[in-house]
Amino acid sequence: MTLCVEKTVREYAVETPGAPRVFEKLKIDYCCGGGRSLGEAARLAGVGVDEVARLLDEAASAPADMPPGIKSGTLTELVDYIVDKHHTFTREEMGRITALAEKVASKHGDRHPELVRVRALFAQLCDDLRPHMFKEEMVLFPYVKGLEMASVEGRARPYAPFGTVSNPVRMMMSEHDTAGDLLRELRATTTDYAVPADGCISYQTLYRALAEFEADLHQHIHLENNVLFPRAVALEGAT
């Protein structure tokens, strides 16, 4: 694959099957930092463009599970996918990981004080994500669905108490940036989720769960920032 280093990470993540998995592996920010050029993003991640091209080639040849609404499908299908897959996973894992973080910090925190920080950072992330997802599900997502239905039926777009969809989108993206900062701090605090030699099974389970939570939240934010929100803004502008 010949890469255009000026093309954004967002464009590759949306257009190239398997690209999000590659970017996750290489620690290239494709959700909150999706507006960067691929060349800049690769440089910041400390990886060569040739290596990115090789891995994207491999990923593109593998079967891809593309969520509805990426290249085809409706915004309603994409919203439902985000809620059913990512919001549900996030809510379930927040409870499980919170309990694990408390257990592991209580047992190992005296020898590994970073665990106390991990517990606090994850609690802050949960406190941010709960109202964030609630606002999306109760306000933004219903408006997006109504907007799409009005467009299909040739009706006037629904009343928007927030003025224009760009306003809540801007707020959600700002909150995504905050979540991204917390994820980066969690990864730095845990030295890339490296379990020390004296780490028990619960310790290992906690770090594995945090890494999986991070990967899912990256994909979650990518679908909203890079696909759903731009399509919703464009649709509103066309109605």
pLDDT band, residue 14 (cuts 50/70/90):
confident
pTM above 0.85, yes or no: yes
Is residue 2 over pLDDT 80? no
Segment holding 94, helix H or strand E: helix 88-108
CA distance 58 to 130: 37
Reduced DSSP (H G I as helix, E B as strand, rest coil) percent helix, strand, coil of the chain, to 5: 70, 0, 30
Give the model confidence (pLDDT) of 42-57 as tens digits.
Answer: 999 999 989 999 998 8
- State residue 37 phi and psi, 5-degree precision: -70, 155
Give residue for tokens 């400390």: 46
Confidence at residue 224, expressed as pLDDT on a 0 to 100 scale = 96
Give residue for tokens 């949960």: 126
CA distance 59 to 21: 8
Q: How many Cα atoms are found within 13 Å in the side-chain-facing hemisphere of 193?
A: 16
Give the model confidence (pLDDT) of 39-93 as tens digits.
Answer: 999 999 999 989 999 998 887 776 555 676 666 689 999 999 999 999 999 999 9
Is residue 209 over pLDDT 70? yes
Confidence at residue 63, expressed as pLDDT on a 0 to 100 scale = 56
